[in-house]
Amino acid sequence: MQQTQLQTTQLGTTGLVITRVGFGAWAIGGGGWEFGWGPQDDDQSIAAIHHALERGVNWIDTAAAYGFGRSEGVVGRALAGLAQRPYVFTKASLLEGPGHRVVHSLEREDILREAEASLARLGLDAIDLYQLHWPIPGPDIEEGWSALAELKEQGLVRHIGVSNFDADQLRRIQSIAPVETLQPQYSLVEREAEEELLPFAEREGIGVIVYSPMGSGILTGRMTRQRIQDLPADDWRRHDPRFREPRLGRSLALVERLRTVADRHGTTPGAVAVAWTLRDPAVDGAIVGFRRPDQVDPILAAAGLELGDAEIAHIEDET
C-alpha cells in the first residue's frame, strides 16, 4: 500500500516534523495491570502499527509502564526490519509494584535503568523523545528532569519532555534544561488544559502532543452503555467516572452532536473529536490509540479536517 500524505507540523522547537495524528500504544500493553485495557492480540497490534505507518503516520507514543514493558516490546517487534522507521516517543517514572500496580519514581538511578531497558525492548540506539510520565513525587521532579537532561547529553535520547505536568511544575524545571515537549490529557470531556497549560506552552514554544483526544474511547461513536457493561474485568475504564453516570449521559449526547458534524464531512464522530483538539493553536499532534488495522483509517481524516466556527459551537453546545 502506498503511503498517504498526511498533514504534518513542527513539534515545538525540536526540529521534528510530525504527522498531526500519531499512533498511541497504551492499549496494546494489554490487561493484567492497574491501567490495562483488557486482553490484546500482539499480532493484531503489530498489524495495526504497520497499517498506520503505511498510511503515513510517522510517530509512535508508548511508555515503559504500558503492560510493564509489553507495549514497548510489541512496538520493537513491529519496527524490526523496517527500511524506514517512525519517530519513537516513550516515557519513564512508573515502575511495577506489588499486584501489578504502578509505583512512581523520579530517582535518577531508576530513570537511567528504565531508559536502558526501553532502548533494549524498542531495539533502538536512541529514543527520539523521552518523557517523564508523571510529576510524582512532586518534590523529586528536578531530580527526574536532570536525569533526562543527562540522557540527552549522552546521546541516548534526542529530545526530552514531560507528560501530565502543570504550568508551575514546568516553570520549576525549565532552568535545569529547556522543556521541549508537553503531553497533557485534552479532549472535549477533559478541557482543563485550556485554562493555563496550553497558553503557557504556546508562549514558551513548547511542543504539545495531547493524549486521549477521544476521551479514552467515549467519543468514538462506537461506545454504548451495553459495550461499557461488557468491558473486560481488567479494563481500567470500567471504574472511570467518565464511563458512569452522570458524565456518561452527557458524553453520549455530545457524541450525537459530533455525529451530526461527522455526517456533514463524511467521516466519524471520533475523527471530529480528534480534529477538535487539533484546532487549538498550541496543539501540534494528537495521540490516538489503535489496536487493530481497521481502526486506523476512520481516524486519519482528523489530520486534515478543518471545523468551522458554527460546527465548533454546535459541538460545544451543552444547552
Catalytically annotated residues: 66
Grid-cell match 513525587, residue found:
137
Task: Map residue 100 onto helix, strand or coil.
Answer: helix
224, with CB counted inside 10 A (0-12, 13-18, 19+), is exposed
| Helical segments of 235-308, H only | 247-265, 269-278, 297-300
Closest by CA to 35, choosing from 107, 103, 92, 116, is 103
Distance from C-alpha of 67 to C-alpha of 69, rounded to nearest angstrom: 6
Q: 217 near 235, Cβ under 8 Å?
A: no
Q: For residue 316, which phi and psi values (nearest 5 degrees)?
A: -85, -10
Preceding omega of 86 cis (within 30 degrees of 0): no
Q: Which grid coordinates are listed for 175?
A: 532552568
Among the listed residues 4, 12, 2, 11, the one whose alpha carbon sits nearest the alpha carbon of residue 204: 12
How far, rounded to the nearest angstrom, does the alpha carbon of residue 133 sit from its chain's CA centroid? 11
